[in-house]
Amino acid sequence: LFRSWCWGSDAFLQIGDGPDVSLDKRASQVRKSNGNPLTGVVGVEAGSFGSCVWDVNGAAWCWGKNVHGEVGDGTTIPRPRARKVVTADGTPLANVTQVSVLGPFGCARTSGGAAWCWGLNDVGRLGDGTTTDRDHAVRVKRAGGGFLQGVAEVSAGSLHGCARLNDGTAWCWGYNYRGELGDGTQTMRLFPVKVTRPGVTPFLPIALSGVTSISAGNGQTCAATDAERAFCWGWNEFGQVGDGTTVDRTRAREVKYDASTPFGFVTTVSTNQTLACAMTGSIDWCW
């Protein structure tokens, strides 16, 4: 019976053990609304305003502040214990295989290759073509009509979301002030746009391809590729793009050891607030 445990600040009810909002210096067990422990947990995601898990039955559970519907249970009522994420008709979101949460919204991938998001949507974070907050899960759409399909992984950042597709491309949506969507602009996008990288000339960008891992952070995004390389783009004030500069990048740039040596043997990447990290074998590297 796999269970979830959390610890630290409970100011926004992100611990999930009940209504006590005191500092939890030791791990507390996450509980369902009836007080029973949440069991069958497959994965867990801790966010700033709440946290989420997904279970062996394909359900997503969240808890937290919920001012903008970031719990996804169809309400904006603060939730100190885990509640199931639901769709527009109140039916629990089914066949969930991954959940991602960082800021005041969350996203999930389902087994059919769909991406769903919920919560704060002021800058298009949910990718549904609107800026309307959602207290339930809505499916991420394409600009030309229909839904984003073939999703292999989702990542919810602070102000934007991203997805890795089965074809190895990366797509992002939401706020884009720092270029974190990677489409060569700083224009907010209500629908997903394809991430690109500079081509042979700056005027001929090409799609970032072979993506095997993606992570959306706070104004920046990183990805790993099947060539065992790391790419990042967006906010770069602290060098979090890893290209040897502190210049914001609106297209994906390869992470390097130095000016002439690419960072190699990368398997996964992760980025959060003002830094990024990658794993090479059993070793972690950060910048």
Q: pLDDT tens, 162-176?
A: 999 999 999 999 999
| Distance from C-alpha of 161 to C-alpha of 155, rounded to nearest angstrom | 6
Q: What is the predicted pLDDT for the residue at 21?
A: 67
Mean pLDDT of 179-185: 98
User: Residue 81 contacts by C-beta under 8 Å, 6 or more apart in sequence?
Assistant: 16, 17, 18, 30, 31, 32, 33, 35, 63
Q: What is the predicted pLDDT for the residue at 202?
A: 67
| Distance from C-alpha of 101 to C-alpha of 46, rounded to nearest angstrom | 7
| Mean pLDDT for all residues in the chain | 94
Mean pLDDT of 216-223: 97
Q: What is the predicted pLDDT for the residue at 259?
A: 80
Q: What is the predicted pLDDT for the residue at 160?
A: 98
| Distance from C-alpha of 233 to C-alpha of 66, rounded to nearest angstrom | 30
Q: Is the pTM of this model over 0.75?
A: yes
Residue that is written with structure tokens 């979090």 in the block: 240
| Distance from C-alpha of 83 to C-alpha of 19, rounded to nearest angstrom | 14
* Tens digit of each residue's pLDDT (9 = 90 or more) over 86-137: 999 999 999 999 999 998 999 999 999 999 999 999 999 999 999 999 999 9
Instruction: Indicate if the pLDDT at residue 264 is higher than 80.
Output: yes
Q: Which helix (H) or strand (E) holds 8?
A: strand 5-8
Q: Which residues of 32-54 are buried (b: 16+ CB within 10 A; e: fewer)?
A: beeeeebeebbbbbbbbbbbbbb
Q: What is the predicted pLDDT for the residue at 11?
A: 86
Percent of the chain whose pLDDT exceeds 90: 84
Q: Are 217 and 102 in contact (CB under 8 A)?
A: yes
Percent of the chain whose pLDDT exceeds 70: 98
Structure confidence at residue 23 as a pLDDT band (50, 70, 90)? confident
Q: What are the E-state strand segments in 37-111?
A: 41-46, 50-55, 60-64, 79-84, 96-101, 105-110
**What are the residues facing 41 on neighbouring strands?**
55
What are the angstrom distances between the C-alpha of 51 and each of 74, 83, 194?
Answer: 16, 11, 28
Instruction: Indicate if the pLDDT at residue 225 is higher than 70.
Output: yes
Instruction: Indicate if the pLDDT at residue 24 is higher than 80.
Output: no
Mean pLDDT of 224-241: 97
149: number of Cβ within 10 Å: 14
